[in-house]
Amino acid sequence: MTTMFLYSILNSLMLPLLNHPLSLGLLLLIQTIIIAMISGSMNITFWYSYIMMLIMIGGMLVLFMYMTNVASNEKFKFSMFLSILLPPSIILSLLAPPLMDQWFMNSKTQINEATQTINPLSSLNKFLNFPAITLSTTLIIYLLITMIIIIKIIDIKHGPLRHHN
């Protein structure tokens, strides 16, 4: 858990050092995966983090398509500051977690004791009870109809966003 927090912090520190849209998108995707793993390990089930990750990946796909259409031939520029900062941060991320895990050992045992007393299926039943299932079904049908309408509106014959001369 502390390793994931450390990776998340290092990932956030690398954000201002990148200037290409695709590298920023990759960094955002990695950050999404790390945060989904952290939030999933804090809950009993991984449902919330799994849904959050799928939504973020869907948004990232839209941004990726837009960026490849707008800035498809832009070259990556090598940052000297990033190349100086990256090796020490990798070494720090590999050496620090064993030291931090010993420090957080008491909190981990308390969390493990608390999760053993809770029934793992009780949180999943709340999604499938009567009031929540109607809302979930309505949301699923709404998203399906919206997707079908968007597919019908899009004219495939016009092609990509920009026109080729």
| Structure confidence by residue, pLDDT tens digits, 100-141 | 655 555 555 555 555 555 555 555 566 667 777 788 888 889
Residue 144 counted as domain residue? no
Residue 135 counted as domain residue? no
Residue 49 counted as domain residue? yes
Residue 68 counted as domain residue? yes
If we measure between CA atoms, which residue out of 60, 77, 1 comes closest to residue 35?
1
Residue 73 counted as domain residue? yes
pTM of the model as a whole? 0.58
pLDDT, residue 48, reads: 78
Residue 151 counted as domain residue? no
Count Cβ atoms below 10 Å from residue 36 Cβ, excluding itself: 21
Range of the domain at 10: 2-119
pLDDT tens string for the chain (165 positions)?
677 787 888 888 888 888 877 788 888 888 999 988 888 888 777 777 888 888 889 888 888 888 777 776 777 776 777 777 777 777 776 776 666 655 555 555 555 555 555 555 555 566 667 777 788 888 889 989 998 888 887 766 666 555 555
If one counts the domains in the chain, the total is 1
Residue 141 counted as domain residue? no
Residue 136 counted as domain residue? no
